[in-house]
Homo-oligomer: A and B are copies of this chain.
Amino acid sequence: MVSPVTPSAGVLSPLGLDAVRLAPGFWGDRAALNHEVIIGHCLEWMEREGWIGNFRGERPRRGREFSDSEAYKLLEAMAWSGHPGLPELAATVAAAQEDDGYLNTRWSSERYSDLEWGHELYCYGHLIQAGVARLRAHGEDELTKVARRAADHLCDRFMETTETCGHPEVEMALVELYRATGTERYLEMARRLVERRGRPALGPIHLGRAYFQDDMPVRRARVLRGHAVRALYLACGAVDVAVETGDGDLLQAIEEQWENTVARRTHLTGGMGSRHSDEAFGEDFELPADRAYSETCAGIASIMLSHRLLLATGRARYADLAERTMYNVLATSPAPDGRSFFYANPLHMRIPPEPREGVVDHTSGAGLRSSWYDVSCCPNNIARTLASLPAYLAAADGDALHVHHYAPAEIRHRGLTLRLETDYPWSGTVTAHVVEGRPGRIVLRVPSWAEGATLTHGGTTRPAGPGHVTAEADWRPGDRIRLDLPMASRWTFPDRRVDAVRGCAAVERGPLVYCAESVADDPPLALVTALPEPPAERTRDGVVELEARACLVPAGDAPWPYRDGHPDTTGREVTLRLVPYHRWGNRGPSSMRVWLPLA
């Protein structure tokens, strides 16, 4: 199975990359951009910054202590994407592996001397994922052998200890390697790494043990906490272990953590991680718009987690969050030309950021896509995710074919071939043409926002979802089913405990979150209040933009910003142009708001 996640149990089974082919469209274009531009862009910058040279022994070593992992993420992207650069990069990596399987360009002479911060197992995790991708997409080769040797070394070294790595990642990689090879010790190693965490397994750090989820056993936690990417990767590994070992309690614990995190610690965009300091989840309802960190990698990790839970349980709710995050975090980060990326994805930019050249410090603010970062996990993570994106679109429950995400594509499953046609997310109409037929069920996801959706086939139209809708027939070539998802834009209000955006509302349309953006002569967003009435729609270059009525409130500057009366919220009426959030910043440095104060 050519897929990044291939559980041996669970309600749904993945369809491989070989069974789902994206055609031009919202995601197909991005997948093509990835293959043609993004992967090469990443390779070029890593060469320039010396991160590849580290494997060749070039000195001084360059990059952060975890830079090896960036080459591995890119190898994974190349493997899924069938990129021709793989063999050369794989050979460079292979040459750096030591005889006993150890591989790390930073810590070789001080192996495992700093498990809290060293990232050695984290790097193995990405190496193993690259190896698994290669094994599935291509078959055994040098890269897969390097990955197995590293995994064997890891098991030899850590199976009987109580240690782990400060950055979870290797857990899910080991389960995947078990799935790909059948070697049970990889699963056992993963299981032990998941279970020993929080007993505690690591030394104290000044950020506190919750930062790397070593504050309590995984199955005892009730919500995701600490560093967002670490927390989400660990949860992915725990789901994988739970599914393969039949550990229902562990699965349930992660489901509960997901529920509480989504209910209280997730931005409207699906973005996770509220804090710049520690790149961490905040407390419940601590969801600032302006300082939302919402790291691109945390969004990707969240998609990975939701996808795993979807396969395990079949619940549409997981696909809902994955879709929200795909359209509003994953799609937001890369620029249309594939050569710059957002690291953080705030929901509010007060002033247009100043352009920055070269390698940008990943902590130094947000608001502009940069070509490369000192910590450049995000571009490589985007590359591997876009390269494996078809795997997220559909799945199977026996003969039944489930479609979770809508894009122009061809999907095959056991003699049934569907060609999906749609202009989603701009239009809500999705037509599935049967190209090759057999009897069976076709299950289509109906997003939670799509109240009033209908399914049309065989000459009848009926209500669909929310959740999913099933069409059953003896499918013949030429048959068609049509899903119509209502795409009227809607105003969304925050829970009153989300202090940061009290008195505000946001506009959504279909799976897209919209934002107001102020470039050049547009009204200054700090002084705009919106009237929550249905916005007008306007299509520009195939993109649906919205126009909302708003007021421009007089600044009323005062020497002290606290007064004895309610602040004004009304003023001269203006029109506020709203663009899909994933397109913000495309017109150059701008101020931006997802949450609009109400008049």
Contact = CB atoms under 8 A, between A and B. Distances in A.
Interface of A: 206-208, 259, 262-264, 266, 268, 275-277, 282-291, 317, 348, 350-351, 361, 363-364, 374, 448, 490-504, 506, 526-527, 529, 553, 556-569, 597
Contact of A500 (B276, B492, B499, B565): B499
A288 B348 CA distance: 13
A556 B350 CA distance: 32
Q: Which of A277, A284, A361, A448 has the most CB of B within 10 A?
A: A277
Contact of A569 (B492, B496, B567): B496
A207 B317 CA distance: 40
Given A207-B361, A290-B499, A493-B567, A350 B561 contact: no
Nearest to A524: B497
Closest 10 CB pairs of A and B: A496-B567, A495-B561, A503-B503, A276-B277, A502-B503, A206-B361, A277-B277, A283-B350, A492-B562, A497-B526
Given A207-B361, A283-B290, 11 more contacts: A207-B363, A207-B364, A259-B559, A262-B559, A276-B276, A289-B499, A317-B559, A492-B563, A495-B562, A502-B503, A502-B504
A500 B497 contact: no
A275 B262 CA distance: 25
Contact of A497 (B289, B493, B561): B561
Contacts of A568: 496
B567 A495 contact: yes
Contact of A493 (B206, B374, B566): B566
Contact of A288 (B264, B288, B557): B288
Contacts of A263: 557-561
A503 B556 CA distance: 18
A163 to B, nearest CB: 23
Contacts of A529: 496
Contacts of A566: 493
Nearest to A492: B562
16 contacts: A207-B363, A207-B364, A208-B361, A262-B559, A263-B557, A275-B276, A276-B276, A276-B277, A283-B350, A283-B351, A493-B564, A495-B558, A495-B563, A496-B553, A499-B597, A502-B504
Contacts of A502: 501-504, 597
Nearest to A568: B496
Contacts of A350: 283-286
A107 B502 CA distance: 50
A288 B285 contact: no
